[in-house]
Structure 1
Amino acid sequence: MQRYFVTPEQFTDNTVVLTGDDAHHASRVMRMEAGDALIVSDGRSRVAQAEIRSLSPGKVEAEVTEWLPLSGEPRWSATVAQSLPKGDKMEIVIQKGTEIGAVSFLPFQSQRMIVQYDAKKEAKRIERWSKIAKEAAEQAHRSRIPAIEPVASWRELVARISGFDLALFCYEKEGGGHGLRDAIASRAKGWGDGERTILLIVGPEGGFTEREAEEAEKAGAVVVGLGKRILRTETAAMVGLSCLMYESGEMGGV
């Protein structure tokens, strides 16, 4: 069933209204008609199945037929901190990371990143990335849209490490030594069933410097490897996040 995200204001007690791109998508792309059902979420606390009563390219009105439980959200709240990669790789990280289960993305600057950061283009890029996260969340049947945070400096990122229950610094020089799984297992033993916050820090194409690794570790991050192979930056983010979801029981068993 097609799923859409709306603002809380678009909900009333028993109706919901789609506007803009969502209304166009429902009426023109999906060719929905009066009587068709869809699922709508306000991205916070309400998810409903609704039946379309009227529609046009600019507005779709639907009546709530059933309130649904929140679903599709991970047990652990994982934020992917990704050093800005070149080209459209950040879009890939956000799209696939949203599907896997990230709750937010924190792009940041690091010493060896290849892309030239342009603060003037930041608003447009974040708008683009937010749209990608929304579409991926709809496709993956998430109940919430992951947040896209403003681009942080290296110092700003390091200062935020202590605010997470666990920060994992993915470092290729760690190789097959101190692995991500071991780091999670050692920390998660006493966590119980409560929600935990995890920061997954991934470097750029050129990797991290030894000084960056030292600074992150000093701030409280656990320096980990993602296996014996060297991964592309966009692959590293997906592998690390998938491992987190597995260890939290997202794939069953725990």
Structure 2
Amino acid sequence: MERVYHPEPFDDDRVEVTGPEAHHLTRVRRVAPGEGVELFNGLGDVVRGRVDRSDRHRVEILIQCRIAPRPEPSAQIALATAVPKGDRFDWLIEKATELGVHRVIPLRTQRSVVDPRTTKLDRLRRLVIEACKQSGRDRLLHIEPMLSWPDLLATYTEGVRLIAHPGGEAIGRCGTIATVILAIGPEGGFSDEEVEQGQELGWKTINLGPNILRIETAGLAASAALLALNLS
């Protein structure tokens, strides 16, 4: 069944879908009147219905029933990560959405070389929608505005806060965690000064094994490990 993103409450028995979602339904997927669809609003509300009328710019869907949203991971992970070069950030966002990461915070550090523009972040939010449609996730991953390392430290002052850094504690020792913010540095890693700043404010360093990982690999591997700990 085709999944459709509709960022509005499902208050009526009829929904009108326009814009990119209508184009995708009618021109790409060729969904015709009478066919069933599933709609989600990214906030956990999910309904099923059938296409009543459509053209290339608009699709009217008659809601037939509400369904329970799929459960989210028990651990809420905020992934604060330096931005990798090229399209590797796209891949990170897509896979973080599939895994169930709660939100991503682009991070500017002393050694950062990529500073994405607002237009790129807006495009990435569209990528989140597509990843949710593909994976069956009913709540959108949130992409926050970029923060510098000092601003991140000033913003997140409580709870479990982790820095991926060689020599830190094994990530498997973190145990069950309800909420966590996980910081991933740029190519070359965090500077010693940045790590010390974090540790002085209660951040704990964790290591991700003996090999040097790319930014996106480190972020996803650490997120997956933390989520797995909460499944055991």
Fold equivalence (TM over 0.5): yes
TM-superposed CA distance for 1:72, in Å, is 4.5
Query: Which amino acid in structure 2 is aligned with residue 4 of structure 1?
Result: V
**Residue 7 in 1 paired to residue 1 in 2?**
no
Contact 1:35–1:52 (Cα < 8 Å) also in 2? yes
Task: Select the residue among 214, 226, 229 that pairs with 2:211.
Answer: 229
User: Normalising by structure 2, what TM-score?
Assistant: 0.94
Amino-acid identity (%): 30
**Residue 134 in 1 paired to residue 129 in 2?**
yes
1:105-124 alignment, distance < 5 Å: 105-115=104-114, 117=115, 122-124=117-119
SS at match of 1:162: coil
**Match of 2:50?**
51
Spell out, residue by residue over 1:46-68, the C-alpha distance to the aligned partner (whole angstroms, 9 max, x if none): 11111111111111111111201
SS at match of 2:25: helix
**Match of 1:75?**
74
- Which structure features the higher share of strand residues? 2
Contact 1:122–1:151 (Cα < 8 Å) also in 2? no
* Structure 2: distance between partners of 1:112 and 1:133: 27
* Structure 1: distance between partners of 2:163 and 2:63: 44
Query: Which amino acid in structure 2 is aligned with residue 122 of structure 1?
Result: R
User: Normalising by structure 1, what TM-score?
Assistant: 0.86
What is the CA RMSD across the aligned residues, in angstroms? Answer: 1.6
Task: Select the residue among 190, 198, 221 that pairs with 1:239.
Answer: 221
**Residue 153 in 1 paired to residue 148 in 2?**
yes
**Residue 34 in 1 paired to residue 28 in 2?**
no
- Which structure features the higher share of helix residues? 1
1:60-209 alignment, distance < 5 Å: 60-115=59-114, 117=115, 122-163=117-158, 165-171=159-165, 173-174=166-167, 178-182=169-173, 184-185=174-175, 188=176, 196-209=178-191
Provide structure 1 residue ranges, at least 5 long, that are not aligned to the other structure. none
* Structure 2: distance between partners of 1:4 and 1:243: 30
Query: Which amino acid in structure 2 is aligned with residue 7 of structure 1?
Result: P
Spell out, residue by residue over 1:128-167, the C-alpha distance to the aligned partner (whole angstroms, 9 max, x if none): 111111111111111111111111111111113324x312
Which runs of at least 4 in structure 1 moved beyond 3 Å after TM superposition? none
**Match of 1:20?**
19
